[in-house]
Structure 1
Amino acid sequence: MFAAIRFLRRLYTCLFNPPVAPKSGHVLRFGILGAANIAPQALILCAKSHPQVLIAAVAARDVKKAEAFAKKHEIPIVHKTYDDLIADPTIDCIYNPLPNGLHYEWTIKALLAGKHVLLEKPSVSNATEAASLFRHPVLGKPNAPVLLEAFHYRFHPAWRLFLTLFDPKDVQEVRIANRLAAGVFPLDDIRWNYSLSGGTLMDFGTYAVSAMRGVFASEPIAVREAGYRPMPDGFDKKCDQAAYATYEFDNGGIAKIEVDLQARGGYWFPWLTSKWPSLSGMLPTLWVELREKKEGVEGGLEKWTKKKLISHAYLAPAIYNRIDIITTTELRDPKADGKVVSKEEKKEYLKAYKWPGGAEGGKKKLVGEEWWSTYRYQLEAFVDKVKGREGSGAWVDGEDSVRQMEVIDKTYEKMGLPLRPTSASLA
């Protein structure tokens, strides 16, 4: 009962009612490009609990929509255009959650105006845009603005804990499944508009690619195979409704990803239920299998261990997270061609909602609360970077974002789909 109450309290605080922090010191004033549905959870709610962040302005192509959005979220300034918002001298930072195909153009404009940019993933449409954006001369100047691709899950203590549990060179196989039930997004959603750089790989899939790269701490040397389920007739056939891919890494390991924003079926009587929205596997899950290791000899028998790790809900660990560590130990007889004499399986379960003991490594105090979302941890890191503070050390640097888009491009090429279109604003 206590665990259920704690869960509900954390859920309510995280998603609906974070405490409001009094503003102090030099407060960073954010402007939001567009009245995007992701903005309240990804930034506006987070800003309420941050003492040095204020959501000061918003702009949208439809001014009335921007005004309604501002009224609902108590944003004091509404600009008529994106250009006006970026030119506002009172704005320090820009949050860019625009459709993928508009990321490059408006992020470049914001950076050239001296604004720090929190940029929704995927950062841009393709690797050409990524190289141009993240290697832009403006980012190499003294006191350059901060640019961050918002892979929010990477800032949460649960992800950081997961990565400490293995050595990337020992990873043999990774599987990642990100599924969302059919019907959550309509088929005419901008997520499947090719001209705006849509496709499931460019949405749910970016997380899977990012997590896979993070587990191996390297880039795939090849896309072994890739496939997709096309959009139905009458919709954009250049976009993938679901995507599947297998990658090879230089340590001999492989990774398999499955991403689906219109998952159906999985029930009994498939002749009847195959088109029903699927509620199976709704928590994004990541499996990591490590190579077996010889641990020594006991009583003339060789001791071998093999580990499997499972990260449940790795993208939303504030709501719920659990890491399973499954260790299989075998004693083998070397005199009988390695015959297994005994076998034992041990299971451990870990959770992390905040930094252990309020610190990482016991050396410095890190800020965080059990109810903080991945977005709230990300905002903390972004503000720390802008203000030149050390912070938690979690970050997504520019070269990481370039390599991310290179992998996505190679996956689309393997699928036989065109790369997402390059912005006309690219010089």
Structure 2
Amino acid sequence: MGAFLSLLVRCWTVDHPPEPPKSRSAIRIGILGTGWIASRALITPAKSHPDVIIAAVASRDKTRAEAYARKFSIPIARLIRSSAVDMLDDPAIDAIYNPLPNSEHCEWSMRALKAGKHVLLEKPCVSNSLEAETLFGYHSSLPTPRPVLLEAIHPRFHPAWSKFLSLISGPHVEKADVVFNAPAGFFKEGDIRWRYDLSGGALMDIGSYTVSCLRDVFGAEPVGVESAVARPAKWGDVEEGFKAGFRFPNGGVGFIDADINKTSFWGLPGVSIPRVVVQQKEMEVEVEDAIEGEVQTRKRTVTIWGFPGAMYHHSIEVVDVNVRKRASDGEVLRRWTKKETKKAYVWEGRGVESGKEGEPYWSTYRYMLEQFVNRIKGRDGSGVWIDGEYSINQMKAIDAAFEKAGVPIRPTSSFKI
């Protein structure tokens, strides 16, 4: 009963966090666009951060910007014009959150960086690897101290993901499967995700998380795409489902299943829990009670359930198949299975290690915001970060999957800084 009440309290507090007073040196962030994701990814997490103020929102429709500002108690509503945005010229704005359509990520992030603003950039960072090299190359060319630029792959910042990775040995991973689906009807007809010109599609949306998961699990970049199938969307000119298999340097394979219009029986919306399942090769392990002439091996499978929303509930299941053998001839003397379930809502070193801040109700986005602010203020953080090289390689993997599937890589912007 206590565990259930704890779950209810945590889930409630994720979306209704405490609101401490803001510090005098708080970072003032402006939001580009009025999409719903900003509420979950920034506005709500910022409530519990004393060093963050949501100071402005901008839209091409001034009336929409003003309505959005009223809804979320944002003091300033700005206008995005064809070649500029008032908010970028405002010296009182320190940072920009860019959740615009993917096709506009490169242009408006570069504009913000040129204006001296830090940028928290929604995933995927841009439309393709060429744009990624352009954006992060431009960022690297800026004089130091340069603004902070971070791609918002939020699940990587939660302690649950780090705990999951700590239970895996990347070089020994034999196979990994990542599944992340959204039920049919969640994204309605007319949504920007259904448009090729806006760099939409399943792989560019939740599929980008699945690719990132594989790269983290193997701790390496894929060396090739062995298979890729894109299922055309019911609406628009992109794919609604994408499956692919990647080969990694150790010979292991990783598979992704990303769907933004998942159906089940009779065409009803399909529901599945996002998960990553990792199978490792059989490995010899050291044991305390080892007997001379005997060896012990272990074949491990680790599964994390609910990784994108780990703050609400997640589960990390570890299954070890152990075998005790006679070293001389390999005869099996004993075989047994050990199962464990783990969770991590806060860092293990919280309150002791520098940078290990966090509360059980902190969302993946809140943990990410913490590191974004830490980097801006030059403070020690948790050690989790996404640099430009990681983001560029992410887009290279996505481009390679598109090529293997025989569908067009998303278009490159004509914008020049």
How far, CA to CA, are the matches of 2:92 and 2:75 in structure 1? 12
Query: What amino acid maps onto 2:17 in structure 1?
Result: P
How far, CA to CA, are the matches of 1:24 and 1:262 in structure 2? 43
Q: How much does 1:27 deviate?
A: 1.2
Q: What SS does the aligned partner of 2:200 have?
A: coil
Identify which of 312, 327, 335 aligns with 1:319.
312
Q: What SS does the aligned partner of 2:411 have?
A: coil
| Aligned CA-pair RMSD | 1.7
Query: What amino acid maps onto 1:149 in structure 2?
Result: E
> Could you give the per-residue CA deviations for residues 329-358 of structure 1, whole angstroms, max 9, x where no partner exists?
12345677x454432111011100011251
Indicate the residue corresponding to 1:406 in structure 2: 396
Query: What amino acid maps onto 1:94 in structure 2?
Result: I
How far, CA to CA, are the matches of 1:425 and 1:295 in structure 2? 55
Q: What SS does the aligned partner of 1:98 have?
A: coil
How far, CA to CA, are the matches of 1:401 and 1:137 in structure 2? 13
Q: What SS does the aligned partner of 1:187 have?
A: coil
Indicate the residue corresponding to 1:11 in structure 2: 11
Identify which of 153, 169, 183 aligns with 1:181.
183
How far, CA to CA, are the matches of 1:57 and 1:335 in structure 2? 71
Q: Is the 8 A contact 1:129 1:426 kept in 2?
A: no
Query: What amino acid maps onto 2:314 in structure 1?
Result: N
Identify which of 374, 387, 393 aligns with 2:383.
393
Q: How much does 1:81 deviate?
A: 2.1
Alignment of 1:62-101 (within 5 A): 62-81=61-80, 83-101=85-103
Q: Is the 8 A contact 2:113 2:139 kept in 1?
A: no
Query: What amino acid maps onto 1:28 in structure 2?
Result: I
Question: What's the % identity of the aligned pairs?
Answer: 44
Q: How much does 1:275 deviate?
A: 1.0
Alignment of 1:162-241 (within 5 A): 162-232=164-234, 235-237=235-237, 239-241=238-240
Q: Is the 8 A contact 1:358 1:366 kept in 2?
A: yes
How far, CA to CA, are the matches of 2:44 and 2:260 in structure 1? 25
Moved more, 245-254 or 137-146: 137-146
Q: Is the 8 A contact 1:225 1:247 kept in 2?
A: yes
How far, CA to CA, are the matches of 1:155 and 1:418 in structure 2? 31
How far, CA to CA, are the matches of 2:126 and 2:98 in structure 1? 11
How far, CA to CA, are the matches of 1:138 and 1:160 in structure 2? 27
Alignment of 1:298-337 (within 5 A): 298=291, 302-332=295-325
Alignment of 1:5-404 (within 5 A): 5-15=5-15, 17-81=16-80, 83-136=85-138, 139-232=141-234, 235-237=235-237, 239-265=238-264, 273-279=265-271, 281=272, 283-295=273-285, 298=291, 302-332=295-325, 338=330, 340-359=332-351, 363-364=353-354, 366-404=356-394
Q: Is the 8 A contact 2:293 2:328 kept in 1?
A: no
TM-score (norm 1): 0.93
How many residues are treated as equivalent by the alignment?
411
How far, CA to CA, are the matches of 2:282 and 2:299 in structure 1? 4
Q: Is the 8 A contact 1:318 1:353 kept in 2?
A: yes
Q: Is the 8 A contact 1:243 1:259 kept in 2?
A: yes
Unaligned runs of 5+ in 2: none
Q: What SS does the aligned partner of 2:197 have?
A: helix
Change (3 A) 1:137 1:312: closer
Change (3 A) 1:139 1:318: farther
Query: What amino acid maps onto 2:246 in structure 1?
Result: Y
Q: How much does 1:426 deviate?
A: 3.9
Q: Is the 8 A contact 1:30 1:57 kept in 2?
A: yes
Q: Is the 8 A contact 1:174 1:255 kept in 2?
A: yes
Unaligned runs of 5+ in 1: 266-272
How far, CA to CA, are the matches of 1:68 and 1:418 in structure 2? 37
